[in-house]
Amino acid sequence: MRLFERFRRTTNEITVEQLIDLEYTQVYFEECRYIWKTYAPKNGQSDVLQGELLKELEKLRGEAQGNGNINWDEDFIYFCEFIRKTLCSRDIISDAEKEKITLALTHIKNCGNYARLFNSGEISERELDINMIAYTKDNLYDIVADAIGFLQSKVKEPIPYKHNETIKR
């Protein structure tokens, strides 16, 4: 049984702290690899929803892990919200999975917003919580990536995506 499918039967509420502590191995890695190779262009936005979702998620991961969220801006906030809304609007994703997706993306967004406050001087070095500046572990990103891979495994066909002209990243 695939791990993500096991989550379908989860009825207990989970906290973001529990998700952060979760050792997670991506289950839909091959589906994500297919999406990346097939639908994610090297530059610009994808014409396919699955490719755009994964590309935006990897931009979030790259900004946190590679840059410590120093470049956090409205585009990254949009990515968190767009991915969350898109995945959580799908009937094939259970309420328990939607809760995990929401917790993961909200935490990633909260870290980015915290970094933005720190980088603008609104949070001093003395007040800094280093654990909130950027979420750099893979597990939360992999949970969301698995939801995208799960979507691909169920839909199979490319879902058209209309570019958002306001995004510069």
> In this predicted structure, what is the pLDDT of residue 169?
87
SS3 content of the chain, % helix, strand, coil (to 5): 60, 0, 40
pLDDT category of residue 39 using cuts at 50, 70 and 90: very high
Token couple for 167: 């995004």
> pLDDT at position 12, please?
59
Average pLDDT over residues 31-58: 97
Instruction: Check residue 42 and report its DSSP letter.
Output: S
How does residue 5 score in pLDDT terms, banded at 50, 70 and 90? Answer: very low
Do 39 and 76 meet the contact criterion of CB atoms below 8 Å apart?
no
